[in-house]
Amino acid sequence: MPKATVVHIAEIAPGIRQIRLQPEVAISTDFPPGGHLDLSLPNGLVRSYSLVPCQTPQQFEIAVLRESASRGGSEYLHTQLGLGDQLTISAPKTTFRPIQAPTAVFFAAGIGVTPLISLADQAWAQGLSVVFHYSVRAQSQAAYFDDLASKPWGGTILVHDASRGQRLDLAQALSSVSPEAAIYACGPARYLTALEQLLDARGSREQLFVERFRQEDLQTGGAGLVVDCVQSGVTVEVGEDETILAALERSGIDVPYACEEGICGTCVTAVLEGQVDHRDTFLTPEERSSHRLIAVCCSRALSNRLVLDL
Ligand code: FES
């Protein structure tokens, strides 16, 4: 895994740190639209952060919100990370599908703006019609506000400034979005859930592509099960309060992972037999109904046995 040096840290909005990383060796810092990077932190955590187009060549840029309920990632990056520190990074990856629609409508809330910037860049470069909703507590304290305003698509931004009583009316905003448009959204869970419910109600959920930072109500427990790993020939018993990932690790079977919340897709593993009780938000409806893939960090089984390609 490549290493990168922290070469820039700045507070770009209250509680938001902009961090730039220079890879140790010359690797491409291009990244797919909506892409993210996994950072392996010295405290043992692996966390994913969306990439923002960086004005300095050969550097990666992320922006990290200090979360009040931090599980250790944002807290570390805000209180312990310093210039010159080295972090292990993954190659850039994305969970967003390419934009294939005549119009791209973006719904960003707070720090959720970060993955949508490069997607909007791409949509504009493809000649698509763009609409960019940006919900902020206060425009004067919004991350990247000036950068966005100077983009070629800056004129499409509709700012919803809560401090001025201009909260976004999602239902009204969606009423003018055609069913052919692709909708990309990122923000707090409640905001994304509201969007999903509105699109469910009009029967067009498939036009929505979301990125979640965390699953607030994620339940990973359930009935115990047995997991057979065909490649290694190991059978693993998974306890009621244990994730499949934890049980695999306990048995010496390494599976790459990052978010541990079913969001990033890093731990997705092929299923050879069994029915999956999906708890992730990464897999598509088609992938879920096929029962051929599982996010082992959080999902369980509807059957009492799974056979995995591990
Ligand atoms: S580690 Fe992110 S989906 Fe499992």
Q: What are the boundaries of each domain within the chain?
A: 3-89, 103-212, 225-308
- In total, the chain counts a number of residues equal to 310
Angstrom distance (rounded) from CA 119 to CA 137: 23
Closest CA to 121 of 109, 110, 108, 132: 132
Among the atoms of ligand 1, which is closest to the Cα of residue 280?
Answer: 3
Residues 6+ apart with CB under 8 A from 166: 159, 160
| pLDDT at residue 299 in the model | 96
Give ligand 1 pocket residues (Cβ under 6 A): 257-260, 262-267, 280, 282, 295, 297
Point out the ligand 1 atom lying closest to the alpha carbon of residue 258.
Answer: 1
For residue range 167-223, what is the model confidence (pLDDT) as tens digits?
Answer: 999 999 999 999 999 999 999 888 998 999 999 999 999 899 988 776 666 788 899
Q: How far is the CA of 232 from the centre of ligand 1 (A)?
A: 21
pLDDT classification of 90: cutoffs 50, 70, 90: confident
The whole-number pLDDT of residue 216 equals 63
Measured by CA distance, the residue closest to atom 3 of ligand 1 is 262
Condensed to tens digits (0 to 9), the pLDDT of residues 31-82 reads 999 998 888 888 878 888 999 999 898 999 999 999 876 667 888 999 999 9
CA of 177 relative to ligand 1 center, distance in Å: 32
Q: Which residues contact 310 (CB under 8 A, 6 or more apart)?
A: 229, 230, 231, 232, 248, 253, 255, 269
Per the structure block, which two tokens stand in for 209? 């592509």
CA of 260 to the centre of ligand 1 (A): 5
Fold of 103-212: Rossmann fold (3.40.50)
Q: Tell me: domain 225-308, CATH 3.10.20.30, correct? A: yes
Residue 209 CA to ligand 1 centre (angstroms) = 18
Q: What is the number of the ligand 1 atom nearest to the C-alpha of 262? A: 3
Best CA proximity match to 224, nearest among 310, 307, 304: 304
Q: Tell me what the mean pLDDT of segment 271-279 comes to.
A: 96
pLDDT tens digits, residue range 91-147? 898 878 788 899 999 999 999 999 999 999 999 999 999 999 999 999 888 999 999
CATH class given for the domain over 3-89: mainly beta
Interval between CA 256 and ligand 1 midpoint (Å): 8
For the chain, the distance separating the N- and C-terminal CA atoms, rounded to the nearest angstrom, is 21
Looking from the CA of residue 257, the nearest atom of ligand 1 is 1
